[in-house]
Amino acid sequence: MIERVSRQVQQPVSAAAQRARQGAGFQGLLQQELQKAAPAPEVAFSKHAMSRAEERGIEITPSLMDQIRGSMVRAQAKGATNILAMDSEKAFIINVPNAKVITAITQDEMKDSVFTNIDGAVFL
């Protein structure tokens, strides 16, 4: 009777469990899953946003693009579709599903502005 119970308890081991036992461990599995994940989409500026940024003296640097992309990814994880991404000097309205910056605003213009049709705000 003891033999029967011990045979029933032993069940086939999943492939993930086998890899973990072979030394891949949690960290290895996590890295594999992260590599499978889609990279963050590239952010594009609409013609309107580019002209507004130029008019308002907002410099679009690689660092700023990384901040905007990060804001967009965080907002997407929460289900937001149109966000206001801002810091103390500038703000951007971003359409998250299309990964497109709709407009750019400076600090002076933020004072009198009312932002509509957004469902989230993210600080850069």
Say whether both 61 and 9 belong to one domain: no
Q: How far apart are CA 100 and CA 94, in angstroms?
A: 6
Say whether both 16 and 74 belong to one domain: no
Say whether both 55 and 92 belong to one domain: yes
Return the pLDDT at 33: 66
Counting the structural domains of the chain, the total is 2
Q: How far apart are CA 56 and CA 45, in angstroms?
A: 15
Tens digits of residue pLDDT in 4-38: 555 555 555 565 555 545 555 777 666 666 556 65
Say whether both 119 and 60 belong to one domain: yes
Say whether both 59 and 16 belong to one domain: no
Tens digits of residue pLDDT in 39-94: 667 899 999 999 999 999 999 999 999 999 999 999 998 999 999 999 989 999 99
Say whether both 51 and 99 belong to one domain: yes
Range of the domain at 29: 2-36
